[in-house]
Amino acid sequence: MRTLALLPVVALGTASLAAWPRCSHTDFLHDLAMRESRMKPGAINPFGYIGLFQMGEAALQDAGYYRGDLTRKNDWTGAWTGRGGAGSLADFFARPDVQVQAIVAYHDGLVGQIRRFGLDRTIGTTIAGVEVTLSGLVAGAHLVGIGNLQTFINSSGSTLPRDGNGVAITTYIAELGGCAISSTAPTFAAVAGATGGAGVGPAPPAPPVVGVPTAPSPIAVDPDTAFTMASGRRPLEVREAMAAIVATLLTLWLVWTSQASFFAWWRGKMSLFAMKADIVRACIVLCVLLVILQ
């Protein structure tokens, strides 16, 4: 009877151990940097992805380090935000600690999207022969984008997205799975000196690619990301620019109205009270519209 009574406790302990991270967040970043760039902060690949973690313009925009440009390529012709002291591509290459901070900020956003779209429901299950963990999902989204990760999950693994080098999403989910994920960025020295993790095991062989492998389309499942990819600008930036234009036009209208009322009074075509009333009314309209624009 005692043995039977202990079975639920043993089962619970086994489940807890299975869910316990096999490696730290620093180990995860170490393995990711080794796979992406061989731990080279100044690395840049033929597709224009840069740094330790081979981040593109869109990823660094999401992380808050790059303002973007008018192209959809990783040509880095736009402005940088200056966050962490990275005001240019050269600054970013020269600051590996900032690169670590940027990837952690980007992965924070991916974790939010993974949870928002319910993809974390698959954690602890096996898809396409690979055990699913949170760090594996983050790694998969890092490789091919959150939209393609969603496609992989929703197809139960029958659709296998790959990156531009033909690497299957299951490779990253397996080799970078089972690690802790944190919103606190370690130093570059800690990442470089980490031993790395064992992941959740090797991924099963992926079906051969027919023809030349191409990067899967980074399908954006949320409207903000889709707008950014299509226009090269964040929705908030466009809104702020439009608000500035409208505010400028409203200010010019106020100046024109005030000037017209003043000259009408000067020529004796309007009373002083009416002139003041027109100007006050215009000021009230301007203030109300400016509040609405905020």
Task: Write the pLDDT tens digit of every residue in 98-157.
Answer: 999 999 999 999 999 999 999 999 999 999 999 999 999 999 999 999 999 999 999 999
How many domains, in total, are found in the chain? 2
**The last residue of a domain, from among 182, 202, 231:** 231
Higher pLDDT, 41 or 238: 41
pLDDT score, position 234: 61
Cα(226)–Cα(212) distance, rounded to whole angstroms? Answer: 26
Cα(82)–Cα(92) distance, rounded to whole angstroms? Answer: 9
pLDDT score, position 240: 75
136 and 50 share one domain: yes
Is 154 within a domain? Answer: yes
Cα(116)–Cα(112) distance, rounded to whole angstroms? Answer: 6
163 and 277 share one domain: no
**The last residue of a domain, from among 231, 252, 271:** 231
The CA radius of gyration of the chain, in Å to the nearest whole number, is 27
b/e per residue, 15-32, with b = 16+ CB within 10 A?
A: eeeeeebbbbbbbbbbbb
Is 9 within a domain? Answer: no
Higher pLDDT, 234 or 204: 204
**Residue 193 DSSP label:** H
Is 286 within a domain? Answer: yes
Mean pLDDT of 208-232: 50
**Residue 122 DSSP label:** G
Q: For residue range 159-208, what is the model confidence (pLDDT) as tens digits? A: 999 998 899 999 999 999 999 999 999 999 999 999 988 787 777 787 77
Q: Which domain holds residue 254?
A: 236-293
192 and 65 share one domain: yes
211 and 249 share one domain: no
201 and 258 share one domain: no
100 and 243 share one domain: no
Indicate whether this model's pTM tops 0.75. no
Angle of helix 272-293 relative to helix 235-266, nearest 10 degrees, comes to 180
Higher pLDDT, 275 or 36: 36
**The last residue of a domain, from among 231, 250, 282:** 231
Is 2 within a domain? Answer: no
Is 12 within a domain? Answer: no
Question: CB 85: neighbour CB atoms within 10 A?
Answer: 12
Average pLDDT over the chain, rounded to an integer: 84
- Residue 228 reports pLDDT greater than 90: no
pLDDT score, position 232: 52
Mean pLDDT of 218-234: 51
pLDDT score, position 268: 76
DSSP-assigned letters across all residues of 44-110: B-TT--BTTTTB-HHHHHHHTSEEE-SSSSS---SEE--GGG--SHHHHHH-HHHHHHHHHHHHHHH
CATH number at residue 49: 1.10.530
